[in-house]
Chains A and B, each alone.
Chain A
Amino acid sequence: MKSICKDIRRQILHVSKESGHGHIPTCFSIVEILWAVYQVLRHNPNNPLWIERDLFILSKGHGALAHYCILAKLGYFDQDKIKTMGMFESSFGCHADRFKVPGIEASTGSLGHGIGLAVGMALALKIEESDRRVVTLIGDGEANEGSVWEALLVASNLRLPNMTVIYDDNRSHSRGLQIVNPAEKFLAFGCDVTEVDGHDVEALIEANKHRGQRMHAIISHTRKGYGCRTFVENPYEWDRRSPNEIEYRNLLEELDA
């Protein structure tokens, strides 16, 4: 498991070096989360629009590079294609376009939108009495947006046990508007709450298997840039930076350390 996630981080670094794009620290914080989600989610890389599939929405859309690398690893498309990321005619933007990338359910980027869309999708599945599920991943910085809490309030009123919100607590909010004790807040908003180490794939898989009577919130404690000392120590410096050739080699060594 660790080797798969390490391999995905290598791919993220490689694409970022080649393309000059990608929010690496945020991508590194969500690798295990995404991998675990897709171990539990019903999906089919050979038929991305399979009508029985569960739905995953990356509400923190700037984590797109990590999502692309995970989808490629799962067989949705060839990994090599991603390195065109951010180029004029590439299918792979710094925020994903659902019409261009197989496996992307919604085009996101502006924060605080994906979770509301997910509530609508979960409501649709509830009306249809379907057993399909909806999972969305939001960021802690994203949770500064009022629309996140508005959507949660609506979701808890609608009683959506078919919906999971994963909260990537990677301390993005720490230099701005702080979200103190998120677990308490999700509980107050009517969710079942599970707190996990967001870099522990087994724990994340277990958490994703939770089935209750209410919406489920997974508070996933992570580190921005997890896997490379350089990123963990300087996440903001690397927020929108890509490595050059020498930095890339050093970062690969850090990954293997």
Chain B
Amino acid sequence: MRKQFKDTVMDLSLYDDRTVMIFGDVSVYLFNEFKEKYPNRFYNMGISENTLISVGAGLSAQGFYPFVHTIAPFITERSYEQIKLDMCYNRFGGNVVSCGASFDYAWDGATHHAYTDLAILRLLPGMEVIQPGSTKELDILLRSQYKNGNPTYFRLSDHPHKIDLPTEFGRGVAIRDSGAELTVMTAGPILSNVMKACEGLNLNLVYFHTIKPIDKEVIQRFKDTRILVVHDAFGLHEAVCEVPNLSVSYHGIPDMFCGWYGTLDDIRRKLRLDPESMREVVVRHLEQS
């Protein structure tokens, strides 16, 4: 997905001389082409996440479209106040583009895991929060949002799904609407696991790439069903619950540090977010109907 990020930005920059890359010492090699073509609009500012955001906001104040990019926990949790005040409160919007969430850096342990990013950023007034699941979704959503003046969070994944879905900012997708009593709602790359888990089961399936603003219309359509949010992060569950009077359960991140290493799949298995365990959870919910 990072390569798609680069390809889209390269393409946008052909027609837009206000794009500026502010990177925190990641993806630098990948963007060599950009750096060579636009040397005065690419800055690797090292491991200085607070300043990355503030500098992005300052550039935005003067009419540029910054892309501030580094690893998810550091650019969101560490720099939360910079995003809140410099970008949101001052309305110096820009693009905050992370990599590494939720467990893309599984082997690096809990310091590098990031699953609160979507949840905390959606609380900030004016913030747009996007978790593209596929490279196609990233491409479409970057193009539609990068210069709208709002602070926008794009959460890149090293493990995108390859499912081709209609993509429009702020719109969820009802992938399956079979009139079933249970509706599974999910977001981002984990859709591939969710699809496998739900194969052949009689349920509705709704997918989101935009966490804020959440598509309340599509949620309303399933308000009379029991909703099970399956997500490898916080944020979607809370967003779905913005619609009143729903019956919602959540299967995802537990209230504990995920103190294991290994691979993304190892962590997902441990959290029962692999297709087989997920299927067990979904079937249990179906049986409660």
Contact = CB atoms under 8 A, between A and B. Distances in A.
B20 A113 contact: no
A127 interface: yes
Contact of B58 (A107, A112, A123, A153): A123
A127 B20 contact: yes
A34 interface: no
Contacts of B46: 154, 157
Interface string B44-81: 01101011011111111111101000000000000001
Interface string A82-96: 000000000000000
A102 to B, nearest CB: 16
B89 A127 contact: no
A114 B152 CA distance: 21
B90 A116 contact: no
B58 A120 contact: yes
Most chain B Cβ neighbours within 10 Å, of A113, A128, A158: A113
Nearest to B44: A157
A22 B283 CA distance: 62
Nearest to A117: B58
A154 B82 contact: no
A120 B48 CA distance: 13
A116 B51 contact: yes
A46 interface: no
B85 interface: yes
Given A117-B92, A158-B43, A110 B85 contact: yes
A110 B55 contact: no
A13 B43 CA distance: 46
A154 B44 CA distance: 10
B40 interface: yes
B61 A117 contact: yes
27 contacts: A106-B61, A106-B90, A106-B92, A107-B85, A116-B50, A116-B51, A116-B86, A117-B58, A117-B86, A117-B90, A119-B55, A120-B60, A124-B59, A124-B61, A124-B64, A125-B62, A127-B64, A146-B50, A147-B51, A147-B54, A150-B51, A151-B50, A151-B54, A153-B51, A154-B55, A157-B45, A157-B46
B223 interface: no
A149 to B, nearest CB: 10
B41 interface: yes
B40 A127 contact: yes
B21 to A, nearest CB: 12
A123 B55 contact: yes
Interface in A118-135: 118-125, 127-128
Contacts of B63: 124
Interface of A: 98-99, 105-107, 109-110, 112-113, 115-125, 127-128, 146-147, 150-151, 153-154, 157-158
A116 B58 contact: yes
A110 B81 contact: yes
A119 B92 CA distance: 14
Contacts of B90: 98, 106-107, 117
B44 to A, nearest CB: 10
Nearest to A110: B85
Contact of A107 (B40, B60, B82, B89): B89
A32 to B, nearest CB: 27
A113 B90 CA distance: 11
Which 4 interchain pairs have the tightest Cβ spacing? A120-B58, A116-B54, A124-B62, A120-B55
Given A117-B86, A120-B58, A151-B50, 16 more contacts: A107-B89, A110-B81, A113-B54, A116-B50, A116-B82, A119-B51, A119-B55, A120-B66, A121-B61, A122-B58, A123-B43, A124-B58, A124-B59, A127-B40, A127-B41, A153-B48
Most chain A Cβ neighbours within 10 Å, of B41, B63, B90, B92: B90
Given A157-B45, A158-B43, A147 B50 contact: yes
A121 to B, nearest CB: 4
B94 to A, nearest CB: 9
Contacts of B57: 116-117, 120
Contacts of B45: 154, 157
Contacts of B91: 99
Nearest to A147: B50
A109 B45 CA distance: 25
Most chain A Cβ neighbours within 10 Å, of B45, B57, B62: B62
A127 B59 CA distance: 10
Contacts of B20: 127
B60 to A, nearest CB: 8
Contacts of A146: 50
A112 B51 CA distance: 10
Contacts of B81: 110, 113
A110 B83 CA distance: 13
B85 A113 contact: yes
Given A127-B41, A158-B43, A120 B61 contact: yes
B46 to A, nearest CB: 8
Most chain B Cβ neighbours within 10 Å, of A112, A124, A128: A124
